[in-house]
A and B are shown apart, each in its own frame.
Chain A
């Protein structure tokens, strides 16, 4: 199927990390897993792990070569509280990127971040 790729230096990603596609994945996974989910601490702990696995698998399915993927999911209760989540990375902005999506239902919020770090 795949034509042999032209030789590119290893520090140049042959293809960019498809942030939009990953955003779709995040939206899909979070939506399908959490739409009906009330907030229960124990349950959400497991769901977060499962979703991270699913997201990882599906991002890997995109078969973006040489990208290392880190998936971080936060689930928290919506309880009239204010919250800010930040993130800081040390990376090469040329090749590395991330995708983020926030999901909310009646009782909880979920934040999924996918960091894609190019492996030279």
Chain B
């Protein structure tokens, strides 16, 4: 099995790995081999010494064979050969042995043998060789031509062979390989020889490092031994290939020998004493092989008989029969192959299957003893079978004659392949006599099996093509102290290693006692479900009653109620407005000239008194949602809110009261919503802390205050970066907070968003950028916790108990250093604002107090232009107060400056496309924004509460409208509107110094988009170049 695996993996395994693997697997089998070899020799010796005893056993073996023969015809051949031709066999064996030593003359020899199957297997062996080693065949052929001569000089050569035995190790390996499938007695002889030789081989293998050298040496020796043999015969490739095969073969062999020998040990306890002697003799034999040659020959003869017996003992006959039949099948396929010219591919597969059979053989050995019992029974039928044997012997003798005559005719090496092809047919004709239809069936079925397996393997192989090439350890922590090294190297003998791991107190206990039965009772008022007042008496009632109580998904119900309440609240409010035209909030202030209608958010809440609005923010997705930041009250009062700043979350459809009220301890400088849903509010404070409110939180987590008749919930931050105690926090007031979402970008391009994020409530992940006065830009990852810890987190100190959202610091950028060159830095620029490009949030723009804008990326990519400058040269102290990106795709942005100038830049050029200097009469621009519904329109707010409307299609030199907000100072401005809807609703939210928020709906002519407005705008912009 192992060998098989190896072969299949050959493709993918690295040669080094393989070698390592092989090295690891070698020592065992070799040791075994050695042992067996020794045992074998002992046994042979002993057999030799105790001749009579041996003969008895031989006879027994013979009878067993005979009984077997009845059952399988293929086997019969074999047996006959073994028994009847014993005298012949001896001579033949000798010949065969010698020829085998030559390693190439197998074929001719086997023709003499009166057994078709032997020939078959030999030929097949040869074919296999050809498949693997085409070159070798040639050499074999060469050798064959010499065979006739060899035969004549049997004796002479034999003596020489023993000298050469050691030298021709590789040769024998090759032979063994060929004989792998050999089933008859020859095999055992070969094995014997192989084992002898293996001793030298083992030494060779131990010195693996010098393998190549040795092999070269060996080759040299071979040449010496057989001058006839060409030296080039053995290519290193072939050798390596053979190597694998040989090894697996050896493994099998050794296993078999083990079993066999152990079996024999039981049989021959008397021989145990002689073993030591015989071992010594064996050693001597190696040394003095020349002198002992004769003796050894006889040993071999006897051994061949013994082999017959031992093989029988092992019950190998059956497997051999099977193999024979299978080989015949293979032969058939081989014939095809040879005709087509040895299709290598299929041949290899056949090899694989044969290997499989070998594997199974091992298993079959185990049932040997059972078979022994059966054999006794068969002995009774011996007399009958002997007659049949006689006939068959005659037949085989005929076969022999034909076979001998055929090879003699062909001496030319070139004719050799043809001859080989002829044999199968000849052989088949003989074979047909012994075959029955059952075998044919068997063959067919096994062939279909083989083809099936072949197909399967060919289908599987490309799939199992794992790439082992890229392999290195990701982390390799070396042991630290010498003790560890010592234990690692030497500590395996008598030491015990106690391992210590962390978390070892985390023990699991199991209780085997039965669980205590419990029953739920309810004694509190108000009661829940059917358990009230003691509940039912037994548990059965509970189940009945429990089934009756409807299952309420309270979560779903709550969700439904929440959304339904909102709708109803909006409807009620609209209704209220309709029925009370003189509602106090409505149009106290008449509509401005630029607006159709207006209304006011009810900031007249008790907790909002005396608070100035510092900032407005409109959500990007739900445009009706508005954040208003209310600063600290002017006169410090007492109570919960006196020292807190407040953020109100408004829904402009419900202007009567804020949706949610958020509080925090320090003054809020800026705020924003999460990009995809208005569930999270982020704010940066003057203290440098970044705050997060999770609007989904249950209001019970937060303090309540009864003001008037209303119960107000003041939400405290879910997470504050105040709890992050290390250096990543901001140390100066945060000037800007921006949410950065990359998902929008990917959605647009690839539409993969539907695959993910569905389960998450807050949508795709995003980051928050916060920038402080020092120009430090921090990126924070918004992490939603899977598990809520009501007891509060021990590690996230900024997280409210029960909070689910936290910020994790991701990266820090020093904008001053990264964005500005040295000469700019000399001016000590201070960064005031930061805006991320909506189409590609890796790019951002910062506004400074020297009239420049810096262009940066989050991954330190080099971008051009690095700076955006005003048209006039020279650096002046102009603060960039407002930046707004063009919302309709083109990378344009507007810049409002403290000198009243307005610039229209494009991302690709350093200087503005357009610049308007005096549109505000020198008043600083404090806010400016593109209209959300019309590409060509933008709104500007200056410090003296003037609103300017620019329509670039109408006039690209000056604003088309100017509206002064009377009486009050407008602090900031935000635009409301839904670009995707064309209802022409465009609102301006104006935050006033008094803390009021007015919402003006601008007139339709500036709100309703005109046809092909974008194209016209681009034309104008092009002309302005």
Contacts and interface: CB of A to CB of B under 8 A. Distances in A.
Interface string A84-120: 1111001001000000101000000101010000010
Contacts of B783: 49-50, 53
B478 A85 contact: no
Contacts of A93: 467, 470
A47 B795 CA distance: 9
A5 B748 CA distance: 13
A85 B475 contact: yes
B749 interface: yes
B217 to A, nearest CB: 41
A80 B481 contact: yes
The residue in A54, A57, A119 that gathers the most chain B C-beta atoms within 10 A of its C-beta is A57
Given A1-B891, A41-B502, A82 B484 contact: yes
Contact of B475 (A28, A49, A111): A111
A1 B796 contact: no
A38 to B, nearest CB: 13
B781 A21 contact: no
B41 interface: no
B472 to A, nearest CB: 9
A57 B752 contact: no
B502 A63 contact: no
Contacts of B488: 82
A63 to B, nearest CB: 5
Q: What is the predominant secondary structure among interface residues of chain B facing chain A?
A: loop
Interface string B755-776: 0000000000111000000000
Contacts of B810: 29, 54, 57-58
Q: What is the predominant secondary structure among interface residues of chain A facing chain B?
A: mixed
B474 interface: yes
B842 interface: yes
Nearest to A1: B840
Given A36-B726, A61-B858, A77-B502, A111 B474 contact: yes
A16 interface: no
B837 interface: yes
B587 to A, nearest CB: 44
A62 interface: yes
Interface string B723-760: 00010100000000000101001100110100000000
Interface string B123-159: 0000000000000000000000000000000000000
Interface in B783-822: 783, 793-796, 808-812
A6 interface: no
Nearest to A85: B475
Contacts of B470: 93
Interface string A22-57: 000000110011001000011100110111011011
A2 interface: yes
A60 B742 contact: yes
B293 interface: no
Contact of A82 (B478, B765, B843, B907): B478
B749 A65 contact: yes
Contact of B794 (A36, A42, A63, A109): A42
Nearest to A49: B783
Contacts of A49: 783
Given A53-B783, A54-B781, A61 B749 contact: no
A77 B840 CA distance: 40
A109 B477 CA distance: 9
A8 interface: no
B237 interface: no
A61 B859 contact: yes
Interface of A: 1-2, 5, 21, 28-29, 32-33, 36, 41-43, 46-47, 49-51, 53-54, 56-58, 60-63, 65-66, 74, 77-87, 90, 93, 100, 102, 109, 111, 113, 119
5 contacts: A41-B503, A49-B783, A51-B808, A82-B484, A84-B476
Given A61-B842, A63-B745, 18 more contacts: A1-B837, A1-B840, A32-B812, A41-B503, A46-B793, A46-B795, A50-B783, A51-B808, A58-B811, A60-B742, A61-B767, A78-B477, A80-B481, A81-B477, A82-B477, A82-B488, A84-B475, A93-B470
What are the nearest 3 A-B pairs in CB distance?
Answer: A80-B480, A85-B475, A82-B479
